[in-house]
Structure 1
Amino acid sequence: MSQLIAIVLPTFGLIALGFIAAHLKLLGDRAGDGLSDYVFLIAVPALIFRTLVGGGPIGDNPWGYWVAYFAGVAVVWTLGMLFATRLFGRDRREAAIHGFASGQSNTVLVGVPLILQAYGDAGATPLFLLLAIHLPIMMSTAALLIEAASSEGRKLKIATGLARTIVTHPIILALAAGVAAKSAGVQPTGAALSIVDQLAATASPCALVAMGVALKRYGMLSDRLPVLAISGLKLVLHPFLVWVLAVHILPVPPVWAGVAVLFAAMPCGINAYLVAARYKVGERTASAAVAVSTALSVVTVSGWLWVLGLV
């Protein structure tokens, strides 16, 4: 129990702190947006760069690791879309948002702090390699599905803008810079190292407080049945599928398998809401799914930590 508290309490305690601060109006929406921007644009890229440059070899990425995670994504995404159209009467555009929310993990704001708390430096390389490929695959798939179901005439413009966003995303650029520096044997020293270290140290606490502010902002009471279905797919079925594949079927090293399972066990990522807002479809459901799944993940993530033998 003490190990569970040591892993879960720092993560969800800071989320609760952000939520309470927002509820008491100590932090407003602008402050939450500013914190989120800082985390995405500066702190997490610094953390990724520092970890890749200072860590062990980065070429060891077993194929089973990728297959296990994204096979789970494919299943829950498909089910999320089927539930949306067959059970909840939504159109194909909104169904794509439901599927995206069912498979898109909250990696930066919750996943990075929690997984590093659980596995330490040993989990950093598989975490950040999956983090980098997760973003372009998930966002590109969501955009293609929504565009395929859309009759609007702006498809090429939107697709071009999305592609530009993906290839210039700071997380992907940080990964590329870290890989390049590691391959060239270049490491920051002196003042440069101190700056990177200090920025990296702020990533986890700022991300978690920002998530708490976002939870207060988006609310949890909208579109209850679809939101509960999405949350169940994301928090239970997705990590279960990854656990079966990575731990019991495919050749995945134990730490990498554990990182994949915890990555899958994260609540719905805020990108689900951002994509919904971009296309003006399913915004209410996506925002509520982010809030509800994050609240429920306090219990479900604790369960997965126990399954993985970390508590």
Structure 2
Amino acid sequence: MASIETILTLFILIGLGYLGKRTVLNGQPLAPLNTFVYYFAVPALLFNSVYQLSLDQLFRPAYLLAFVLGVTLTGVIAALGCRYLFREKSKEVLSIRALNATFSNYAYMGIPMVFGLLGEAAYGAMISIILLGNIFQIGGVQLLIEGQREQGKGMRSLLAILDKSLLRSPVFIATLLGVTVSAFQVELPALVSSTLDMLAPATVPAALFCLGASLEFKSLSRNRAMLGWLVAVKLLIHPLLTLAIFTLAGLEDRNWLLAAVFLAALPTGALAHVMALRYDVCEKETSLTVVISTLLSLVSVSLWVMLMI
């Protein structure tokens, strides 16, 4: 029941954005709100998630590598499907669609669901996977798109791509700072921690409101088959591949296994739409992928939970 209430609350926030864009925000740009989410709210959320945990809780290389392999294979499958089934040739578009098929709703659904199902024993695994997912998936897509847009050659071109996609990425910087604070056991001033505690929760409602404001159902009729493909990959193939990789690798820590599978089974996260807006690639298709996958996850996530527990 709690998971259903969480998903319904998500739809209310999306609906408020859809309504707001067509009433009081009619004609207003979404860029400022999207900028706030990407540069302020998301970094606060990621930093808050990591700095209070020890490095021993965060780093289990074999398990994290298995999760990354699942994401990579799923992304490749999604992109190949779009390339050969739907004749999509743009590498930027394929990068965003691979993100849509692999990036989960970690913050809003992942944390409460995994913590509610598995308790504190799986908290370190959950946070580690979420942090790695944000860096690898968001940073990876930025790297691919910036690489396509960078016209130069050689070392200067490579440094420019890394600078734009990683070194100046708030997702990467916030996570790196959080790990550093954790490693040196730095105690933050009360003023700083209280500010972060106020800022971090703004991530989800602001991102979902922005998502709802961007919804345009006209594109659904043009891309119905492609959207169906991406949603199927996200809700079925991604968790199935993750489960298979963990099993074949002989990784026996059940808390990490369940956390990885449940996080992979979640619908597409709103931060994928933030990235689509940032690069002006597949914005409307991404918003629809988030909404449709979230709606269908009412059934699919419940089935995965019943299967695994």
TM-score tier after normalising by the smaller chain length: 0.7 to 0.9
Say yes or no: does 1:6 pair with 2:2. Answer: yes
Please identify, of 230-239 and 81-90, the stretch whose mean Cα deviation from structure 2 is larger: 81-90
Which residue is equivalent to 1:306?
306
The one-letter code of the counterpart of 1:104 is: F
| Partners of 1:14 and 1:209 within 8 A in 2 | no
What stretches of structure 1 of length at least 5 have no aligned partner? none
Which residue is equivalent to 2:232?
232
2: CA distance, partners of 1:68 / 1:177: 25
2: CA distance, partners of 1:281 / 1:235: 22
The Cα offsets for residues 221-270 of structure 1, whole Å up to 9 and x where unpaired, read as 25000110011001111011112333574325222222211221222244
1:112 CA displacement: 4.1
The one-letter code of the counterpart of 2:15 is: I
1:50 CA displacement: 3.9
SS of 2:101 mapped into structure 1: helix
Change (3 A) 1:119 1:44: farther
Which residue is equivalent to 1:78?
76
2: CA distance, partners of 1:175 / 1:146: 21
What stretches of structure 2 of length at least 5 have no aligned partner? none
Q: Matched residues, percent identical?
A: 24
* Paired residues for 1:206-225 under 5 Å: 207-208=204-205, 210-211=207-208, 213-215=210-212, 217-220=214-217, 221=220, 222-225=222-225
Which residue is equivalent to 1:102?
101
1:285 CA displacement: 3.4
The one-letter code of the counterpart of 1:160 is: A
Which residue is equivalent to 2:254?
254
1:292 CA displacement: 1.9
SS of 2:56 mapped into structure 1: coil
Which residue is equivalent to 1:68?
66
Q: 1:16 aligns with which of 6, 11, 18?
A: 11
Aligned residues: 300
TM-score by length of 1: 0.76
The Cα offsets for residues 57-94 of structure 1, whole Å up to 9 and x where unpaired, read as 53553333223222222222222222222221221524
| Partners of 1:265 and 1:304 within 8 A in 2 | yes
The one-letter code of the counterpart of 1:288 is: L
| Partners of 2:143 and 2:166 within 8 A in 1 | no
| Partners of 2:16 and 2:212 within 8 A in 1 | no
| Partners of 2:79 and 2:94 within 8 A in 1 | yes
* Paired residues for 1:21-100 under 5 Å: 21-25=16-20, 28=25, 37-58=35-56, 61-93=59-91, 94-100=93-99
Change (3 A) 1:282 1:209: closer
Please identify, of 254-263 and 269-278, the stretch whose mean Cα deviation from structure 2 is larger: 269-278
SS of 1:58 mapped into structure 2: helix
1:14 CA displacement: 2.2
